[in-house]
Structure 1
Amino acid sequence: MTEVFVQSEFAPLRVVVLARSEVSIPANARDSADTRFLAEDSFVLNPVGQDMRDGAPERQAAWERERDAFREVLERHGVRVLRPRLLTGQEKTEAGDDGYANFFARDPFFTVGDQVVESSMRFRHRRREVLPMREIMLTEVYPAECGYVAVPAPEIPEPDDPALGPGPFLEGGDVLVLDRHVFVGSSGLASNALGARWLAKYLAPYGYTVELVRLHERILHLDCALGLVRDGLLVACEEALLDGVPEVLRDWERIGTDFDSATRLATNGLPLSPDVYVTDPEFSFLGDQIRRRGVKVEYVDFAITRSLGGSFRCSTQPLLRTS
């Protein structure tokens, strides 16, 4: 039986869900203020209004190879890798003009301690993203001695509401775990204060403190601005953190990055343990500094994944991270 427990962002990774590579970017995405977190060339590189598999088959194949290379690194370090199923034809049809996504396992659910939480996604094309995860819930989570809940469904917004309603919105990319302290990011693009409030209420009986972290409006999730490498060491873009690094982390050693690098996912590497960290060769300037502090750095080219707005942490969701 799978044990389910996430102690922290850098506790040894033992069981993880690795995302599939499926997306149909909504046809109106180019004109939406909600895509302000993406690089300028994202809509040039990636097809809009159709499945990547149909619109750019060679790019689709290269994208899948990126994920395969990452999987090889995970398994070489002893991590058990789970994969969600692919979207069904009916799920794609039901999505209609909203488009669909099955490409970042971090966001549709998350794990805090022994509590597994299905998210409440803000973007319409991602709201069905949890469905391919449900088979993993059946085989791994239901049999485990852990909690399993879902955030309340978001309210239906008015057609002209740019906020897409009051939510609650709560997404895994915004949730960082440090023992009994949980950080929840909020930029206006994903998780919001009501989502953080719900999580604080839910986790309080288990002894957790939830802290809201305000983000720059061009940052999608907290893990695009802040990463915990090991105890006492973090990477951060301070320009993206409107109130600075959270108080409980201010005595940690800090490796900084500029705002442009943050929007290209510089802080979205993945610790496999306090001794091993995965990042993109694009960010070797960070990798070199991390390596000089005694952490082994593994590099995987994740350029296509990053062009879609996420990287290594976004592509994974741990079920077991414990010493």
Structure 2
Amino acid sequence: MLQLNVKNETARLRAVVLGTATSNGPTPTLEEAYDPKSLEHIKAGTYPVERDMVNEMEAFNKVFQKYDVKVFRPEIIQDYNQIFTRDIGFVIDDKFIKANILPDRDRELDAIHEVLDQINPQNIISAPEEVHFEGGDVMLWNDYVFIGTYKRPDYKSHITARTNKEGVEFIRDLFPNKKVLSFDLVKSKVEPRDNALHLDCCFQPVGLDKAIIYKGGFYDEAEYSELVKIFGMENLFHIEREEMYHMFSNVFSISPDVVVSEKNFTRLNQWLRNNNFTVEEIPYAEIAKQEGLLRCSTLPLIRD
């Protein structure tokens, strides 16, 4: 059995589900695009090809092997995008919570049955249909759970709005001892530079007391200020609009002092090194074209 344990974003990682880019399928049509960044690259003819994405994910996998992390991979579904395992579920403490995601992505959960079969069924939680959340919006920080959401009345018509207020309340009821804070995110169906698809597109903790943040990703400055209060302005690395577009906040921590980052994130990687992090740089710019990066490709199961 797997003894699930995840309490924050940075404790030493022991087991993880890493997505796969194998048999990723043809380039989507414009109508099939789920997000404005994919749309941009489909239109420009620069949408990533499978071979490049497989190589990028293999580079990520090698880092996990280097740090002796147990890696599970999904079963391959023919011609299907299974890169972003973060969307399909997440672990809080010892509970695996199945995400209520875009309906045509249910098959991705079936593809990790090897993992689910090793979890005590009492610890696998499903939410009612009207409750929406995806793992990219759910961020753990010890006593806190930070949740990205979208509170506008046009929620239903926004394909980029992935977590609703019912999702926030569901987590709050499930974990009454945690402080659950929700953040109204800026969304756009057409401009990826103004679309915080998930909370990890504009915020993520690193180390024991630091975080990467994009102020423009938050509708409400008061909610942004709550994070400043929790972490302290001096511990925040503020990213610019273009850096948010390239997904600077979507790195991934293997431990409090080891961060996997994209090799082109020069300014961020320098800041991390200046703050005594080991930075494992890998190429991930092709996968980034689908508006997801390193955190999106992982589903942590066990952290110390």
TM-score for both structures, normalised by structure 2? 0.85
Match of 2:232 among 222, 246, 251: 251
What is the CA RMSD across the aligned residues, in angstroms? Answer: 2.1
Match of 1:209 among 179, 197, 202: 179
Distance 1:42 1:306, change over 3 A: farther
1:302 and 2:284 correspond? yes
- For the Cα contact (< 8 Å) 1:85–1:132, is it kept in 2? yes
1:3 and 2:3 correspond? yes
Match of 1:141 among 81, 99, 119: 119
2:61 match: secondary structure: helix
Take 1:202 and 1:227, find their aligned partners in 2: how far apart are those partners? 23
Post-superposition shift, 1:209?
2.4
Distance 1:289 1:303, change over 3 A: same
Match of 2:59 in 1: 69
Match of 2:108 in 1: 129
- For the Cα contact (< 8 Å) 2:209–2:231, is it kept in 1? no
Take 1:283 and 1:320, find their aligned partners in 2: how far apart are those partners? 27
Take 2:225 and 2:18, find their aligned partners in 1: how far apart are those partners? 29
Take 1:168 and 1:26, find their aligned partners in 2: how far apart are those partners? 28
Take 1:237 and 1:16, find their aligned partners in 2: how far apart are those partners? 27
Match of 2:147 in 1: 184
Match of 1:113 in 2: 93
Please list every run of at least 4 consecutive aligned residues from structure 1 whose deviation after the TM superposition is greater than 6 angstroms.
none
Encode CA deviations 1:237-293: one digit per residue, 9 max, x unaligned.
111122315345242611111122112211000011111001101212101001100
TM-score for both structures, normalised by structure 1? 0.80
1:285 and 2:267 correspond? yes
Post-superposition shift, 1:39?
6.9
Distance 1:282 1:42, change over 3 A: farther
Take 2:6 and 2:207, find their aligned partners in 1: how far apart are those partners? 14
Take 2:128 and 2:28, find their aligned partners in 1: how far apart are those partners? 25
Sequence identity percentage:
25
Amino acid of the structure 1 residue aligned with 2:183: V
Match of 2:190 in 1: none
Take 2:241 and 2:25, find their aligned partners in 1: how far apart are those partners? 27
1:226 and 2:226 correspond? no
1:40 match: secondary structure: helix
Post-superposition shift, 1:70?
0.6
Unaligned runs of 5+ residues in structure 2 are 156-160, 188-194
- For the Cα contact (< 8 Å) 2:206–2:212, is it kept in 1? yes
Match of 2:47 in 1: 46
Post-superposition shift, 1:203?
1.8
Unaligned runs of 5+ residues in structure 1 are 48-58, 93-99, 154-166
- For the Cα contact (< 8 Å) 1:42–1:308, is it kept in 2? no
Encode CA deviations 1:207-253: one digit per residue, 9 max, x unaligned.
22221111111111000100111121111111112231534524261
Aligned length: 280
